[in-house]
Amino acid sequence: MFSLTQFPLQFSEKALMPYMSEETLQCHHGKHLATYIKNLNDLIVGTEYEAMPLDEIIIKSAAAQDAKKIFNNAAQVFNHNFFFRCLSPNGGGNIPEVISKAFGDKEKLVTEFKSAAAGLFGSGWTWLVQDNGTIKILTTANADTPIAHNIVPIMALDVWEHAYYLDYQNRRADFIEAFLKHLVNWKFVLENMNQ
């Protein structure tokens, strides 16, 4: 279902400027994600996880007592591949009505998403997830991921410092604002919703 390989960017590394720099994409997609993939592939050699698809590795290692490193790297591979597909050079703008209606209120969605992402202490992720036709906001710490909890993600924002520090330094709120206004690939989010 999900691949252990790096999902290629669907745009050039310069395409998200000025909201996300070429340097950030080179470092984040080209180095951080590449390292999680290499670590994962090294860790699973010769283990029961070796032949599993990524989602199965995540679910099995989450439940195991001795597989924290495998879980962390596998979840980060999924989270990053998902996050980079949530970005688009023509992104942002109006939230599609089907999404705001499923959440309940457009303004509330924006306010609560910003507040959740800005308020997440330390490293982690802010998500839109789908639960029986309802859209909810969820935050996860460190590498944790909705699919480990049988929850369907439809949008992800990486709020680890490495996702924004080169461009925004300590101004995480500005990064969140730029993501919602200029970067979200709503087409991809809608596709996730319809699955």
What residues line the site for Mn ion (CB under 5 A)?
Answer: 158, 160, 163
Q: Which is nearer to Mn ion, 160 or 175 (CB)?
A: 160
For residue 26, the tally of other CB atoms under 10 A from its CB is 13
Cβ proximity to Mn ion: between 19 and 160 the closer is: 160
Q: What is the residue-wise DSSP string for 51-62?
A: TS-HHHHHHHHH
Taking the complex as a whole, the smallest distance from the CB of residue 73 to Mn ion amounts, in Å, to: 12
Q: Supply the minimum distance, in Å, between the C-beta of residue 160 and Mn ion.
A: 5
- State which residue has the least CB distance to Mn ion: 158
Residue 94, phi then psi, degrees to nearest 5: -65, 140
| Residue among 129 and 163 whose Cβ is closer to Mn ion | 163
For residue 175, the minimal CB distance to Mn ion (Å) is: 12
CB of 163 to Mn ion, least distance (A): 5
Cα–Cα nearest to 117, from 85, 82, 81, 161: 161
In the complex with Mn ion, the residue whose CB is nearer, 81 or 135, is 81
User: Cβ closer to Mn ion: 64 or 173?
Assistant: 173
Return the closest-CA partner of residue 83 out of 136, 41, 20.
20
Nearest approach in angstroms of CB 152 to Mn ion is 21
Q: Are 77 and 49 in contact (CB under 8 A)?
A: no
Chain position carrying tokens 């596998």: 74
Under 8 Å between Cβ of 152 and 129: yes
